[in-house]
Amino acid sequence: MSEQHAGLSKEFIDQQHQRLLALRSQLLGGERSTLAGERQFQQQHGDEAEEFEEAAQDMARMEVDQAVQDVDVRRIAHVERALQKIEDGSYGMSDLSGQPIPKARLESTPEAILTVQEERGLETGR
């Protein structure tokens, strides 16, 4: 690991590394718990005749769970990329432009791999 990443101190990089590892563990744990919850629900209620309203509620819950899981999958990918960037010495630099990502953004979102403006541009371009 290099001493400096985008002008960031070694101590800051080490702290971010620990935060990213904890975040990855938290996100992966959440995904496992969602899948386990779905399995448990299916085991408990799989053979029961369901009312239409219950089915609609279950469908809505599954849609919300899927949306949360999609966000988590995207965040996990960003966490993995940020960890890779720490290893290769480019943490704190945008993947898109190579410009420095402000330290305040990295403090609030350690998995950031783009500047706020670049991320907004990608979101509005969808």
Hunting for tokens 């101190």 — which residue is that?
A: 9
- CATH among 3.40.50.720, 2.60.200.20, 1.20.120.910, 3.40.720.10 for 10-124: 1.20.120.910
Residue 86 CA to its chain's centroid (Å)? 17
**Do the beta carbons of residue 96 and residue 118 sit within 8 Å?**
yes
pLDDT of residue 2: 42
Which DSSP string do the residues of 61-99 spell out, in sequence order? HHHHHHHHHHHHHHHHHHHHHHHHHHHHT-TTB-TTT-P
Q: Is the pLDDT of residue 67 over 70?
A: no
Q: What does the pLDDT look like over 14-41, one tens digit per residue?
A: 999 999 999 999 988 865 555 555 556 6
Identify the band that residue 59 occupies on the pLDDT scale cut at 50, 70 and 90.
Answer: confident
5: β partners: 8
Tell me the whole-structure pTM to 2 decimals.
0.67
Least reliable range by pLDDT among 6-10, 18-22, 44-48: 44-48
